[in-house]
Amino acid sequence: MRCDYSCRSDDHVLSRRGFLGGLAGLGLASGFGSFVNPSAAAAMAKGQKQMLVIWLAGGSSQLETWDPKPKTETGGPFRAIDTSVPGIQICELLPQTARHMHRMALVRGVNTHENDHGKGQYLMHTGRAQAPGAEFPHLGSLAARFLAKGTEPLPGYIHITPGGGGVGGKEAAYLGPKYGALYLGNGAPPANTARAGSTTPASDASRHDLRRHMNDRFANRRRTAETEAYTTTYEQALQLMERREVFDVTREPAREQERYGSHDFGRHCLLARRLLESDATFVQVTHSNYDTHNENFAFHLEQLGEFDQGFSTLLDDLAQRGRLDSTLVVVMSEFGRTPTINYLYGRDHWGTAWSIALAGCGIKGGTVVGKTNAKGTEVVDRQVGAGHLFHTYLKAVGLDPKDDYEVDGRSVQIADPTASPITELLA
């Protein structure tokens, strides 16, 4: 349902930053949203926090990453290796990442009760189970809405995918489409951001002035979330045109590109660094594909080889350039993979006992929270769900997950009210 802004009250004539509300509050509802509790806004003033999510699409195996069980019935052929933190071991497929364990935290007791790709993706992106008639914003949209200052030249939520590009909107749910994701398909810059060769800077500026004038007239009478998103997109596109070189990783010295790896994921991690250094608020990099029902070990060997190089180099750079303290890094999937190894050397979907990894802003490095049993078939200590993780992410970047957001006259807590942060992880 459309959000009608035509009342033109002072409350609703807002700057970009002040623009609250959106398209589809809790699914089909509409209306304005705002912080009931101003603490989140106050937190914003403390300084710019950023987020980086590495999404291992398809469901990476916890046994081949963060919670190895070598020489057990379920352990598979890979061994565990020591890390930079005595007593913490991870899978031998991650030797470079192991050097960063003092910066990282592992959550080994994740139970999301979800083995479906789509539902698992929704759950891990929103911190809430998918339910009919209710839509909640993705982590990236919340970051774009509540962490961004509004003056950044880049969109608040940028998602680097191995596949197609484009502009999303549905991820933002009740926050409104302008907090949706900008997708950089295969790391390519946004389409049509180069000024046509036949257009001079002066004539281009003149055309935009005319567009703005007409937009303003229209907005005075028929302002909607869609028109707001449209206007915002145009203005962001203009800024993107000015900063188009940010998306071009080939501007990096050859040595830098080599450090990240010659594969797409390495290139995308380097792009993520450039975007974060250009003050992008939230960057997600998807690495595909870990849905290894067949030959789990050979495919994890291949995929994690890329991950280990790109991810560890990115962590190195964020740390050395002083950005890690203000950047929350999360490595997650829609679920883990079965401890049982099937007859195809594969592992299947498994939301019962799996792991994620965090680093950076607000996170206590060298921490392991949660434990699975010897075969990894169940969580035996400090079980947490997606809601707990979501609370933790928000808390780590200085947002209060219990803050309410007003949607169409109703207060909605920005994180699942039945969950709470994993305090052991927080610095």
Partner 1 sequence: MNLADPTKIHLAKDLVHTRPLVSCRFDARGRFVFAGSEDCTVQRWDLATGARVALTAHESWVHALASSPDGETILTGGCDGRLIWWPATAAAPTPIRTIEAHRGWVNAIAVNKEGTLVATCGNDRMVRLWSMADGSLIQELPGHPKVVYQVAFEAGGRYLVSADINGLIIQWDVLVRKEARRLDAAKLSKYDAGQGVDYGGVRDMAFSADGSLLACSGLIEASNPLGAVSNPAMVLIDWKAGKELRLQRPKEDIKGVAWGVRSHPDGFFVAVSGGTTGGVLLFFKPDQINEFFKFAMPNTGRGLDLHPDGVRLATAHHDGHVRIWAMKAKPTA
Q: Could you list the residues that contact partner 1 (CB under 8 A)?
A: 58, 70-71, 73, 76-79, 162-163, 264, 287-289, 291-295, 298-299, 301-303, 341, 343-344, 346
Minimum Å gap between C-beta 159 and partner 1 is: 16
Minimum Å gap between C-beta 71 and partner 1 is: 6
Task: Rank residues 128 and 347 by Cβ distance to partner 1 and give the closer one.
Answer: 347
Residues 6+ apart with CB under 8 A from 423: none
Task: Rank residues 215 and 303 by Cβ distance to partner 1 and give the closer one.
Answer: 303
Report the amino acid identity of residue 68.
P
Task: Rank residues 98 and 425 by Cβ distance to partner 1 and give the closer one.
Answer: 98
Minimum Å gap between C-beta 348 and partner 1 is: 11
Handedness of CA 103, 108, 112, 115 (dihedral sign): positive
Minimum Å gap between C-beta 343 and partner 1 is: 4
Minimum Å gap between C-beta 97 and partner 1 is: 16
Handedness of CA 265, 95, 390, 354 (dihedral sign): positive
User: Is the bond preceding residue 342 a cis peptide, omega within 30 degrees?
Assistant: no
Task: Take residue 383 and report the two structure tokens written for it.
Answer: 């079980």
Task: Rank residues 68 and 362 by Cβ distance to partner 1 and give the closer one.
Answer: 68
Count of C-beta atoms within a 10 Å radius of residue 379: 19
Minimum Å gap between C-beta 290 and partner 1 is: 8
Minimum Å gap between C-beta 335 and partner 1 is: 15
Minimum Å gap between C-beta 62 and partner 1 is: 18
Per-residue H/E/C for the chain: CCCECCCCCHHHCCCCCCCCCEEEECCCEEECCCECCCHHHHHHCCCCCEEEEEEEECCCCCCCCCCCCCCCCCCCCCCEEECCCCCCEEECCCHHHHCCHHHEEEEEEECCCCCCHHHHHHHHHHCCCCECCECCCCHHHHHHHHCCCCCCCCCCEEEEECCCCEECCHHHHHHCHHHCCEEEECCCCCCCCCCCCCCCHHHHHHHHHHHHHHHHHHHHHHCEHHHHHHHHHHHHHHHHHHCHHHHCHHHCCHHHHHHHCCCHHHHHHHHHHHHHHCCCCEEEEEEECCCCCCCHHHHHHHHHHHHHHHHHHHHHHHHHCCCHHHEEEEEECCCEECCCCCCCCCCCEECCCEEEEEEECCECCCEEECEECCCCCCEEECCECHHHHHHHHHHHCCCCCCCEEEECCEEEECCCCCCCCCHHHEC
Minimum Å gap between C-beta 338 and partner 1 is: 14
Task: Rank residues 178 and 349 by Cβ distance to partner 1 and give the closer one.
Answer: 349
Q: How far is CA 121 from CA 15, 115, 179, in A?
A: 33, 10, 18
Minimum Å gap between C-beta 183 and partner 1 is: 16
Judge contact between 280 and 239, C-beta under 8 A: no
Task: Rank residues 280 and 304 by Cβ distance to partner 1 and give the closer one.
Answer: 304
Task: Rank residues 79 and 217 by Cβ distance to partner 1 and give the closer one.
Answer: 79
Task: Rank residues 179 and 299 by Cβ distance to partner 1 and give the closer one.
Answer: 299
Task: Rank residues 75 and 140 by Cβ distance to partner 1 and give the closer one.
Answer: 75
Minimum Å gap between C-beta 415 and partner 1 is: 32
